[in-house]
Amino acid sequence: MKVLVVGSMAYDSVETWAGKRDRALGGSATYFSLAASLFAPTEVVAVVGDDFAASDLARLRDRGVGLAGVQQVPGETFRWGGRYSRYFETRETLFTELNVFSSFEPEIPAELRDAEVVFLANIHPRLQLSVLEQMTAPKFVALDTMNFWINGERAHLEQVMKRIDLLLLNDEEAFALSDSGNMLEAAKTIMTMGPDVVVIKRGEHGAWLFAKDHTGLVPAVPLAEVIDPTGAGDTFAGGFIGYLARAEDFSLDSLKQAMVSGTLAASYCVQDFSVDRLEIITMNDLAVRHTRLREVVSSLDATFVS
């Protein structure tokens, strides 16, 4: 199945304990597509400025990412800058410059409107609705959002949520959307808003899958060193959705395996700045790390519940 992602392509300036990277390739659609394209044909709809380097577009094409939906217009590309604390407990936004992204109106090329799987990355809910209205008959629609839209564009967001199958968000966003401080209660409340499946991401603490009559957790891969967590959530989503498209199956069993695929992809993303590590990993790399994750899970001492 073909995957379509609508989101941002950007240049990031990032500071972590490991150093600083300026004008690093970033954006939700960039991270997502590099992960999803490992599993299935993936097309991007986004906007960039005329300052966006041809070599950066080539980096995506070289990984099989389709760019027919990427508009390049006069002006500067969306830019974001951030600084992380030593152990990534906090992140300080240094600047956000929307530039050409501020007037982005997604136009889905005719040849992409039949995509079976659609991922609506973190953009204005009004734009997410516009995308859905341009699609013919997607089999599976997933959505990402953030507190800014939850608090400021609730009406539009609720309209989108009635038309999706899956919502991915972090625990803070889930609490804000559901007005609940309990994760299980939050997920149940969110499912009444439209999606049949809710995935709540908790960074190094793993991710929770909530579906009808099922709750499950996939732990994060233990890593001795994290370089840059920027884009990890979008990478998780890319691995997750890419797996579902490859499997051509949206059953509970496939959702469980998709959780693992997203976790594995994200574990590589954080081990270098920008997409540097993500753009070179292979399915074999994921398989090796999958073995490692299975070993960790099977060795956990659970005798306290025996």
d(CA 267, CA 204): 9
Q: What confidence tier does 172 reach under pLDDT thresholds 50, 70, 90?
A: very high
For residue 299, the model assigns a pLDDT of 75
- At residue 180 the predicted structure's pLDDT band, cuts being 50, 70 and 90, is very high
Convert the pLDDT of each residue in 100-135 to its tens digit: 999 999 999 999 999 999 999 999 999 999 999 999
| Average pLDDT of the chain, as a whole number | 95
Does the pLDDT of residue 173 top 80, yes or no?
Answer: yes
Rounded average pLDDT over 20-49: 98
Check pLDDT > 60 for residue 247.
Answer: yes
Please tell me the distance from the alpha carbon of residue 176 to that of residue 103, in angstroms, as a whole number. Answer: 27
Residue 301 in this model has a pLDDT that exceeds 70: no
Per-residue pLDDT, averaged over 165-175, amounts to: 96
pLDDT value, residue 5? 98
Alpha-carbon distances of 76 from 47, 49, 99, 102, rounded to whole Å: 10, 5, 6, 11
What tens digit of pLDDT does each residue of 124-163 get?
999 999 999 999 999 999 999 999 999 999 999 999 999 9
Q: Where are the domains of the chain?
A: 3-170+224-297
Q: Does CATH place domain 3-170+224-297 in 3.40.1190.20?
A: yes
Looking at the chain, the whole-number percentage of residues with pLDDT higher than 70 is 98
- Which whole number is the average pLDDT over 176-200? 96
Q: Per-residue pLDDT for 300 more than 80?
A: no
Contact by Cβ (8 Å): 278, 31 = yes
What whole-number distance in Å separates Cα of residue 255 and Cα of residue 244?
7
Task: Give pTM, 2 decimals.
Answer: 0.95
Q: What is the C-alpha separation between 190 and 150, in angstroms, rounded?
A: 12
- How large a percentage of the chain has pLDDT more than 90? 93
